[in-house]
Structure formats: C-alpha cells, structure tokens
Amino acid sequence: MDSALLVHRLHFAFTATFHYLFPQLTMGLAPLIVILKTLALRSHDPARVDFYDRAARFWARIFGVSFVVGVVTGIPMEFQFGTNWSHFSRFAGGVIGQTLAMEGLFAFFLESAFLGLFLYGEKRLSRWAHWGAAMAVFLGSWLSGYFIIATDAWMQHPVGFVRAGDGSAQLSSFWALVLNPWAQWQYAHNMSGAGITGAFVMASIGAFYLLSGKHVEYGRLFVKVGVLAGAVFCILQIFPTGDAQGRMVAQNQPVTLAAMEGLFDSAPGAPIVLIGQPNVETGKIDNAISVPNMLSFLTYRRWNATVQGLNAFPKDQWPDNIPLLYFSYHIMVGLGTIFIAVTVVSVFLLWRGKLFSARWMLWILLLSLPFPFIANTAGWMTAELGRQPWLVYGLMRTADGYSKSVSAANGIFTLIGFMGMYTVLAILFLFLVNREIERGPEAQPALAEVVEVS
C-alpha cells in the first residue's frame, strides 16, 4: 500500500473512531433525558418533580461534557474531506456536499441554540419550555445523525447522481439522495446502537450507585430507565434493523457479505461461522464452530439458498483487510447478542421486583459500560472496511481519493498531533465525568438555586 494512502486512511480512521465515542453517547442520552424531563412534568408531588429534575440535571451535565468533546472532534471530520481526501471531495462534493451542508444548517444550529437554553435557561423558561428545549436538543442530535448517515450511505450505495463532463458526480435527484433506502436502514440500525450506549451507561452508573450504597433512590431510577430503554433498543438492533441491513449488504455488496462472514467458497446451504479465524492464504476458517445452513436462511430465508463466497469474485474486488472486517463484524454481532441477554434478564428481574437486590446482575450491568462503545465502533468498522476497496462503491477506489498534494510526512505530523490532543481530551473527559458521578445527582442544585445567565 502506498504509504501516503495508508497515512490518510489511518488519519481518518483514528479521528472518526475517537469522535464517534461521544456522539453515540449524546444521541443515546438525549432521549433518556427527555424521558426524565417528561417524568418530572407528569409528577404532581413537588418532591418527585424535584427528584426527576435533579436526575435530568445530572445527566445534562454529563451530556454537556460529552457534547463539547463531540463538537470539537467533529469539526475535524468535516475538514478532513477537504484536507486529506481532496480528490474524493472534488469527485463527490457535488452530491454529498448537500447532506453535509444540510447537517450544518438544519441540525447544528438547532442543537447549539437549544443546548444553550437547556443548560443555562432552566430558571428563565417555564417547565414546559424547558422540556421543549430538551426535546429540541434530542431532535437536533438525531437529525444530525441522519445527514451523516445519508452521506455515508451514498458512499456505500450511490444513488441520484449523474457523471459530469469532468468525471465528477453531480446530484440529479435530491429525494433519491435524501431517501436512499440504504440510509434509512443504516440510520435505524445506527441510532438504536446509540440508544444502547446511552441506556447501558445510565444503567451502569445506576448499578454503581446501588452497589456502593450511594444515591440509592437515583440508582434505582437510572437502572430502571436504563434497562427498559436498553431492552427496546437491543431488540430493535437485531430485528428489524440489523437483519435488514445485513440483507441489503447481501444484495448490493455480496463480496462484502462473504468477507464479513468468512465464506470463501460459494455453497448451497451456507453455514454461519460463530467462532474461528479466517485464513486468507489457505481460504479456510481455522478453529471453526459454525451452524450449518444458517447463513443461507438469514440471507435469503431459504435453508438451501446459495450464498456466493469470496472465490466467486475477482480478487481486486475483495475488501483489502478481510480478517479485520470479519472480526469487527463478529464482535459487533456477538456483543449485540449478549446485550439482549443482559437486558432481557434485567427486565425480568425488574418485573419480579428483584433487580435492585440482585447484586450479581448489578455487577454485570456496572461492568457492561464499555461494551456498547466497542460494539458501535466495531459496527462502523464493519461498514467502512466492508466498503473497501471502494471509497464510493463501484465508482471510486479509495486509492484514488486521497489528497495527492499532502505528503505522508505531513499526514503523520498531524496524525501524531491529533493523537496527542485526543489523549488529553480523553483524560479530561474521564476525569470530569468521574467527578460528576462522585458528586452524584443529589449535589445538583434545586431549581431555586439554579443560576440563570442573563
């Protein structure tokens, strides 16, 4: 691999991976904060109103810290299309510039305006208006997600464009771009993934409070909201969104599906590999444990359907890092399955009234905190590695898209700069969030003490 190409790929992969740790948390927490604000709004007892409002303020603070990191690491993503991937931008800007510009105009303005009101304006706004501000932040962050997914979906499955005289892609149908069927399923799948992160983080911190005997009332609330929301998102994650996403890949990127599943030879009644390492040299799965016929069924709903293996495609169409793609996909699916088990058992215990005293389950919830982040990251790696060797599927290869004028040395220089900067950001973030968790929701001021900014 050309070293400048490798540097630019690593540059984007590193900054995107780090960035997405934060939006998945804010997009996941936003609806949960709306739920807490709704509970407050529906309560009549002033003590309960205060209880739910403090809970919402506690999460708003964690949301605020995550949001800042998400914003400052998000700006480099937009810039890098031009700085590191200028040939791609020249080729595709006439199409995906639409969705990226719309994100700024429709989502960021909404989000930033109302986040200021939500964080600083509680005293100045009526209860309903403050609830509305929380809702607007939720909508803004979820809208933002859609425009980004629509951009990525065009790279996965380009629609609604024509090739201009200079070879670039130019928009020919706005609605085809915005309503790209790929974007719709990918969005649903991605957002339920973010929902899982928000729900698990809330449940995990709640479990921590219950286990340590601090802020117990709040701990119960967080565990309850977390596992209930988590169960809903986990189920949506597999069905229908994950299932539909998988079949879309099978239909439009069959070679990607074969690489994800580690299927080398086309076969009727293809098995699904649960565990094993794909060996690209020998074209086999080492140490395989697989379920016969399952892949055929999941993909085509017929036990004996033929699924095309990697060998059915020319090698220059194969994703260029099959093992990493395979492992990303298997980690995502494996964790998704475990999440369903965790939330279903938790909801069952909650229903029986035993969850808050089942310390073993609370431990599981506490320790589950990092895994949704890993699963979401693995999911994005599956999507983006699976698209290789294409930058825009079937139209432009990744090797043709990077900035030829930016040398590998300059790329490494700024990559190191980002690594240093993001290490500092990560330390500060963990430090501040840890401090908020230590202080707990009870340290949040009552409304009378909430300071407005005038």
Partner 1 sequence: METLWFAIVAGMLTAYVVLDGFDLGAGVIYLVVARTNEERHMILRAIGPVWDGNEVWLIAAGGTLYFAFPLLYASSFSGFYLPLMIVLWLLMLRGIGIEFRAHIHDRVWQSFFDVVFSASSIVLTIVLGAALGNVIRGVPLGADGYFFLPLWTDFRVSANPGVLDWYTVMAGVVALVTLTAHGAHYVALKTRGDLGRRSRRLAMLLWPLQLVLTGLSFGLTLLIQPAILDNFRTYPIGWLVPVVVAGSLAAILWAMFREKELIAFLASGLYIVAMLVGAVFALYPAVLPASTGAQFSLTIYTAAAAHYGLGVGLIWWSIGMALALGYFVFVYRMFRGKVEMGEGHGY
Q: CA–CA separation, 85 vs 80, rounded Å?
A: 6
Pick the closer one to partner 1 by CB: 36 or 115: 115
Applying the rule CB under 8 A, the residues between 82 and 111 that interact with partner 1 are 82-84, 86-87, 89-90, 92-95, 97-98, 100-106, 108-110
Check whether the bond before 240 is cis (ω within 30° of 0).
yes
Dihedral (Cα; 158, 108, 93, 84), 10-degree rounding: -110
121 binds partner 1 (CB under 8 A): yes
Q: CA–CA separation, 149 vs 186, rounded Å?
A: 7
279 binds partner 1 (CB under 8 A): no
Pick the closer one to partner 1 by CB: 47 or 453: 453
Q: How far is the CB of 118 from partner 1 (least distance, A)?
A: 10
Q: CA–CA separation, 58 vs 445, rounded Å?
A: 10
β-sheet bridge partners, residue 396 = 392
Site string for partner 1, 406-425 (x = CB under 8 A): xx--x---x--x---x---x
Check whether the bond before 389 is cis (ω within 30° of 0).
yes
157 binds partner 1 (CB under 8 A): no
Q: CA–CA separation, 113 vs 111, rounded Å?
A: 6
- One of 17, 43, 172, 311 touching partner 1 (CB under 8 A): 172
Pick the closer one to partner 1 by CB: 69 or 381: 69
Q: How far is the CB of 181 from partner 1 (least distance, A)?
A: 20
Dihedral (Cα; 221, 224, 228, 233), 10-degree rounding: 70
Pick the closer one to partner 1 by CB: 159 or 280: 159
Single-letter amino acid code for the residue at 442: E
Applying the rule CB under 8 A, the residues between 20 and 79 that interact with partner 1 are 57, 61, 64-65, 68-69, 71-73, 75-76, 78-79
Run of H or E residues at 453 = none
168 binds partner 1 (CB under 8 A): yes
Pick the closer one to partner 1 by CB: 175 or 351: 175
**CA-wise closest residue to 264 among 325, 326, 312, 300:** 312
Write the burial class of residue 164 (CB in 10 Å: 0-12 exposed, 13-18 middle, 19+ buried).
exposed
445 binds partner 1 (CB under 8 A): yes
Pick the closer one to partner 1 by CB: 134 or 333: 134
Pick the closer one to partner 1 by CB: 367 or 428: 428
β-sheet bridge partners, residue 169 = 163
Q: CA–CA separation, 407 vs 217, rounded Å?
A: 57
Q: How far is the CB of 207 from partner 1 (least distance, A)?
A: 24
Number of residues that bind partner 1 (CB under 8 A): 74
Pick the closer one to partner 1 by CB: 63 or 339: 63
Overall residue count recorded for the chain in this entry: 454
CB 335 within 8 A of CB 374: yes
Site string for partner 1, 372-411 (x = CB under 8 A): -------------------------------xxxxx--x-
